[in-house]
């Protein structure tokens, strides 16, 4: 009979035991400031393959390698001045940089490509665990591939169950969206592969040059440079319908068996009384909305609704990241 998952508090004793497990090639679900990740030794081919098996992840979707200090960067990647400039500005934090890889990273972690996606997380428990393990850790989101990313330890337990028996609890994810990914393999032509909490404008200002948005869509079965580029991703089982604009009037005329998800709380008492109207933040603050998005999608997915109608945020910055996740969640 498969073992049930156990959730560990971040005590020194537990961290030491989990670090030892990672050194032996085992897997541990970990908290990060973005979402919870499923971690394994990034230098171990067998550990990386174990991550793919546990998630049901296609081999062409590479893993992000996490490091604890700048000294570790040279072990896994060949950095250029542009990458070092962004690392100095945004690390530790929710920014992943794609660079040429070193021989320390197996092809199993990078979809066979000569590049690696790498970042330094800011979550103190995760960084401490990386240091104690003594190896860089590959860690995609700790959920079945394609489903809504987890932002709590309980989300991990419910999603992966007996496939991951060790879960480190670091509280709810502070940001709630996966990291921004920028491709700096050609430093003179930076490209945004996935929007996130570090915005395209911030990257452009730090680099002193425009940052293009990659329009390529990853095809299942083919290797691509970074995760999060599949047309359909971050998706609940309940169909999601995306709207450029939503109003309580539109919702009231819709199917009462559908859920209606707004960025901000709709005006008027009628909206607040309707049991199928929801919002991510009462005032529409995008950082708070991002923090709640995945948890809300999970709750609505469990709510027995026929469809989830979601409002697409407009604009740049964090709105771009929220729109990206909702667009992929609604793709068919």
Give domain 6-213's CATH number out of 3.40.50.2300, 1.10.340.70, 3.30.750.24, 3.90.870.10. 3.90.870.10
Q: Which residues pair with 218 in a beta bridge?
A: 230
Average pLDDT over residues 16-41: 98
The pLDDT mean for the chain works out to 94
pLDDT in tens, 92-141: 999 999 999 999 999 999 999 999 999 999 999 999 999 999 999 999 99
pLDDT in tens, 199-226: 999 999 999 999 999 876 655 667 778 8
Does the pLDDT of residue 174 top 70, yes or no? yes
Find the distance separating the first CA and the last CA of the chain, reported in whole Å.
Answer: 36
Give domain 240-330's CATH number out of 3.30.1330, 2.60.40, 4.10.860, 3.40.50. 3.40.50
Looking at residue 161, the DSSP 8-state letter turns out to be G
Per cent of the chain over pLDDT 90 is 84
| pLDDT number for residue 267 | 82
Which comes out higher in pLDDT, residue 2 or 121? 121
Domain ranges of the chain: 6-213, 240-330
| pLDDT number for residue 150 | 98
> Exposure of 10 by Cβ count < 10 A (0-12 exposed, 13-18 middle, 19+ buried)?
middle
CA 61 to chain centre: 13
| Weakest-pLDDT range from 52-66, 93-107, 263-277, 292-306 | 263-277
| pLDDT number for residue 225 | 80
Q: Are strands 180-183 and 95-100 parallel, antiparallel or unpaired?
A: parallel
The 3-state DSSP class for residue 71 equals helix
Same fold: 6-213 with 240-330: no
| pLDDT number for residue 168 | 98
């Amino acid at each position: 009979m498969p073992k049930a998952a156990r959730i560990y508090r971040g005590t020194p004793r537990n961290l030491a035991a989990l670090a030892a497990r990672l050194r032996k090639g085992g897997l541990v679900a970990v908290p990060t400031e973005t979402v919870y990740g499923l971690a394994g030794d990034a230098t171990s081919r067998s550990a990386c393959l174990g991550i793919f098996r546990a998630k049901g992840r296609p081999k062409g979707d590479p893993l992000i390698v996490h490091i604890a200090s700048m000294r570790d960067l040279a072990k896994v990647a060949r950095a250029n001045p542009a990458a070092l400039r962004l690392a100095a500005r945004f690390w530790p934090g929710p920014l992943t940089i794609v660079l040429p890889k070193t021989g320390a990273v197996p092809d199993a972690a990078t979809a066979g490509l000569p590049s690696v996606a790498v970042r330094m997380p800011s979550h103190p428990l995760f960084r401490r665990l990386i240091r104690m393990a003594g190896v860089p850790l590959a860690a995609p989101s700790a959920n079945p591939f394609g489903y809504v990313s987890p932002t709590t330890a309980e989300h991990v337990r419910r999603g992966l169950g007996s496939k991951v028996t060790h879960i480190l609890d670091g509280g709810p994810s502070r940001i709630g969206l996966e990291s921004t990914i920028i491709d700096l393999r050609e430093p003179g032509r930076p490209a945004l592969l996935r929007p996130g909490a570090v915005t395209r404008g911030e990257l452009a200002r730090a680099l002193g040059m425009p940052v293009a948005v990659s329009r390529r869509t990853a095809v299942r079965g083919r290797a691509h440079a970074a995760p999060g580029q599949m047309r359909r991703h971050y998706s609940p089982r309940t169909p999601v319908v995306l709207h450029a604009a939503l109003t309580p009037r539109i919702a009231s005329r819709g199917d009462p068996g559908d859920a209606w998800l707004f960025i901000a709380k709709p005006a008027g008492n009628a909206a607040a009384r309707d049991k199928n109207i929801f919002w991510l933040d009462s005032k529409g603050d995008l950082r708070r909305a991002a923090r709640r998005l995945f948890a809300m999608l999970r709750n609505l997915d469990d709510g027995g609704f026929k469809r989830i109608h979601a409002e697409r945020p407009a604009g740049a910055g964090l709105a771009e990241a929220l729109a990206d996740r909702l667009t992929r969640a609604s793709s068919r």
